[in-house]
Amino acid sequence: MMRADLALIYDWVPEGARVLDLACGDGTLLEALARDRKVAGYGLEIDPDGITACLEKGVNVIEQDLNLGLANFDDDAYDMIIMTQALQALRRPDLMLDEMLRVASEGIITFPNFAYWRHRVHLGIKGYMPVSKSLPHAWYDTPNIHLSTFNDFEHLCRQKGLIISDRAVGNGDHEGHWSSRWWPNLFGETAIFRISRGQGHKRSRAQTVRNTGELL
Amino acid sequence: MPTTLPADSVGLVTPQTAHFDEPLALACGKTLEAYDLVYETYGELNAERSNAVLICHALSGNHHAAGYHGKDDAKPGWWDAHIGPGKTIDTRRFFVIALNNLGGCHGSTGPCSTNPATGRPWGPTFPLMTVSDWVCSQARLADRLGIERFAAVVGGSLGGMQVLQWTLSYPERIANAVVIAATSRLSAQNIAFNEVARQAIRSDPDFHDGWYGEHGTLPKRGLKLARMVGHITYLSEHSMGAKFGRDLRSDALNFGYDVEFQVESYLRYQGDMFSTVFDANTYLLMTKALDYFDPAATCNGDLATALAPASCPFLVVSFSTDWRFAPARSRELVEALTRANKPVSYVEIDSPHGHDAFLLPDPRYQAVFGGFMKRITRELDLEKGA
């Protein structure tokens, strides 16, 4: 049984695509994509247990810290780039978006939606930083240093001139519930976006490498 | 050596010799008309002959990779930490072959062997070997042992270079490649260290241009120096510091040039030991093989293009404090492999032990390497064995 957001992504990846999966975890998604859809590619991961699990599965995994950018991958080397539940833990999510859409023309990103109603209740009524299934950490030990909302991400994509070709929410048991479809920013627990380069978005590799070296 | 062998040891092993009469044309233009290869095997070759693993050795390594030659051996083979029943390379599943490369000094034909054309030892006239030459000779040993395709070819350092060459020379004969603490080519700094080692040997008055055997001498001082320099590059600053610090052998400074610091004592001891068991001409030849290796050279330095023939999955492993073949060198290889769309996994093991880490046990190293081997075991359906 695949995690809800992974199951959705699985359906969005075209047959035979060349894929880079950033923060690939134990390789579940890549393994399924390789087996069922002839997808080839690599997973990037830094968690030792995840890496070992990938090796045992036969998933190509490269130990790499995403905060150092993707300078070791060429422009347009992949058809699809995926990053699940990692954007919020990066030092500069905005620059990572640039890097992702330099390496591939299309990307899928998932992250916990900070504006999910339960999170709002935590913060707005109880007065505590939200802790939930999608945000299980306490404020002091969380790896999630750049939390954002469904709306925030759409805003950033607009700023960058990126095209959002599809979006969805993962909601635990309430997948596809009417409320989360109509008000994803309020009722979506996990935000899932499918994005691609807009006009004039692409920047030179040199520029990206320089930026990521300094800032990521 | 314990009075009883450890349960996870391959136990007592006996080296074997394979003689080859088929001439071997070498990269240097010369031909070895006939030669011997000394090797050891651990585990059993299965009926399908699909479970063979080849171990390629590094600069000063040999065919004795695991187990003991006798009950009185002080130490097991050089990679005993990783080869044995239940170990990373599990001999209950795999049939492991380790050989001494040509040009070596542990039984395979090399500078100490007799040149049939002259009736004298080859000495310094033994042809310079390349990694490709070695791989070619290893393939012939595989033919002899009835192995069409290796489940994996594995090696660290110079051994890793041989693994890489296997994927290019015989892509159809290697199912998996494990390249550990290696590089696709030496840096200027690496070559510089090798040249210091060579000069140390060649400038020893007992070297006699490599004809020390005929002069009844041994260039022990040169070989000792070469090993001392080499040994420094195998360790990390941290591991040396942790092991020796600035500890003195006696209580106070004695204002002389005898051994004072523990690290001096250690290096001299290592050098002395090595100079009595290793052949100087072999050492020179091995360092040259290291220097020459550069598969990208034929492709204008473009490694990704050079890797085109490779087709098997790679596992590339580096160690954080290895400054001889630093993680950056492994990452270059991985980058070229990904650029060439080859299946590759890469792991950098956090270890304080420098280049030597590839020889030592380490939980994460074993988990990673073992995980990769476990997948091979599963895919080849080798689990039924034990």
pLDDT tens per residue across span B16-36: 999 999 999 999 999 999 999
* Facing residue for B334 by CB, picked from A56, A62, A77: A62
Beta bridge partners, A163, equal A196
Residue B370, Cβ neighbours under 10 Å: how many?
Answer: 20
Contacts of B167 (CB under 8 A, 6+ apart): B153, B174, B177, B307, B309, B310, B311, B312, B314
Catalytic residue among B353, B355, B356, B362: B355
pLDDT category at A206 given cuts 50, 70, 90 is: very low
* Gap between the Cα atoms of B99 and B104, Å rounded: 10
Q: What is the pLDDT of residue B382?
A: 87
Q: What is the pLDDT of residue A203?
A: 53
Residue with tokens 């199912």: B175
User: Cβ distance B98 to B66 under 8 Å?
Assistant: yes
Cβ <8 Å between B341 and A60: no
Q: What is the pLDDT of residue A199?
A: 66
| Secondary structure of residue A94 in the 3-state scheme | helix
Chain A, nearest residue to B342 by Cα? A41
Q: Which chain B residues are within 8 Å of A61, Cβ to Cβ?
A: 345-346
Q: Say yes or no to pLDDT of A216 above 50.
A: no
Closest chain A C-alpha to B185 CA, distance in angstroms:
18
The letter for the amino acid at B74 is A
Q: Say yes or no to pLDDT of A5 above 80.
A: no
pLDDT category at A177 given cuts 50, 70, 90 is: low
The letter for the amino acid at B8 is D
What's chain A's average pLDDT?
87
**Active site (annotated) includes residue B169:** no
* Facing residue for A55 by CB, picked from B334, B345, B379: B345
* Gap between the Cα atoms of B212 and B204, Å rounded: 10
pLDDT tens per residue across span B26-62: 999 999 999 999 999 999 999 999 999 999 999 999 9
Cβ <8 Å between B345 and A60: yes
Distances from the Cα of B373 to the Cα of A95, A133, B82, B367, angstroms? 37, 35, 11, 10
What's chain B's average pLDDT?
96
* Gap between the Cα atoms of B231 and B226, Å rounded: 9
pLDDT tens per residue across span B93-128: 999 999 999 999 999 999 999 999 999 999 999 999
pLDDT tens per residue across span A52-82: 999 999 999 999 999 999 999 999 999 999 9
A104-112 and A78-84 strand pairing? parallel
Mean pLDDT, residues B256-269 taken together? 95
* Gap between the Cα atoms of A36 and A32, Å rounded: 6
CA atoms within 13 A on the CB side of B136: 15
Report the percentage of chain B scoring pLDDT > 70.
98
* Gap between the Cα atoms of B54 and B57, Å rounded: 10
Residue A60, token pair as written in the block: 């190509």
Mean pLDDT, residues A129-138 taken together? 89
User: Lowest-confidence range among A183-187, B139-143, B209-213?
Assistant: A183-187
Mean pLDDT, residues A90-117 taken together? 94
Catalytic residue among B60, B132, B137, B157: B157
* Facing residue for A42 by CB, picked from B338, B364, B372: B338
Distances from the Cα of A45 to the Cα of A81, A104, A150, angstroms? 14, 18, 25
User: What DSSP assignment string belongs to B21-59?
Assistant: -S-EE-TTS-EESSEEEEEEEES---TTS--EEEEEP-T
**Active site (annotated) includes residue B157:** yes
* Gap between the Cα atoms of B100 and B111, Å rounded: 13
pLDDT category at B343 given cuts 50, 70, 90 is: very high
Could you tell me if residue A69 is left (phi over 0), alpha (psi between -120 and 50 degrees) or otherwise beta? Answer: left
Cβ <8 Å between A51 and B379: no
pLDDT tens per residue across span B229-253: 999 999 999 999 999 999 999 989 9
Contacts of A86 (CB under 8 A, 6+ apart): A22, A23, A66, A111
pLDDT tens per residue across span B168-177: 999 999 999 9
Q: Which residue has the higher pLDDT, A131 or A216?
A: A131
Task: Kindly list the residues of chain B whose beta carbon comes within 8 Å of any beta carbon in chain A.
Answer: 313, 315, 331, 334-335, 338-339, 341, 343-348, 364, 367-368, 371-372, 374-375, 379
Mean pLDDT, residues A118-140 taken together? 90
pLDDT category at A211 given cuts 50, 70, 90 is: very low
Residue B188, token pair as written in the block: 């200027």
CB pairs < 8 Å spanning A and B: 51
Catalytic residue among B322, B351, B353, B362: B322
Q: What is the 3-state secondary structure (H, E, C) of B58-101?
A: CCCCCCCCCCECCCCCCCCCCCCCCEECCCCEECCCCEEEEECC
pLDDT category at A10 given cuts 50, 70, 90 is: confident
**Which of A55, A74, A78 has the highest number of chain B CBs within 10 A, making it the mutation to test binding with B?**
A55
Q: What is the pLDDT of residue B322?
A: 98
* Gap between the Cα atoms of B269 and B176, Å rounded: 39
Asked whether this complex has an ipTM greater than 0.85, the answer is yes
* Gap between the Cα atoms of A155 and B168, Å rounded: 49
Q: What is the pLDDT of residue B288?
A: 98
Q: Tell whether A65 lies on the interface with B, counting CB pairs under 8 A.
A: no
Q: What is the pLDDT of residue A214?
A: 40
* Gap between the Cα atoms of B170 and B139, Å rounded: 8
Mean pLDDT, residues B260-277 taken together? 96
Q: Which chain B residues are within 8 Å of A54, Cβ to Cβ?
A: 345
Mean pLDDT, residues B176-194 taken together? 98
pLDDT tens per residue across span A180-192: 667 888 888 889 9
* Facing residue for B346 by CB, picked from A40, A63, A73: A63
* Gap between the Cα atoms of A36 and A111, Å rounded: 25
**Active site (annotated) includes residue B353:** no
Please state the φ and ψ torsions of residue A78, each to the nearest 5 degrees: -130, 155
User: Cβ distance B11 to B68 under 8 Å?
Assistant: yes
Nearest to B285 by CA among B194, B213, B222: B194
* Gap between the Cα atoms of A13 and A15, Å rounded: 7
Q: Say yes or no to pLDDT of B219 above 60.
A: yes
Q: Which chain A residues are within 8 Å of B344, Cβ to Cβ?
A: 42, 60, 62
Q: What is the pLDDT of residue B2?
A: 56
Q: What is the pLDDT of residue A110?
A: 93
* Gap between the Cα atoms of A56 and A173, Å rounded: 31
Contacts of B328 (CB under 8 A, 6+ apart): none
Q: What is the pLDDT of residue A204?
A: 46
Mean pLDDT, residues B302-306 taken together? 98
What does pTM read for this prediction? 0.94
Residue A210, token pair as written in the block: 């320089």
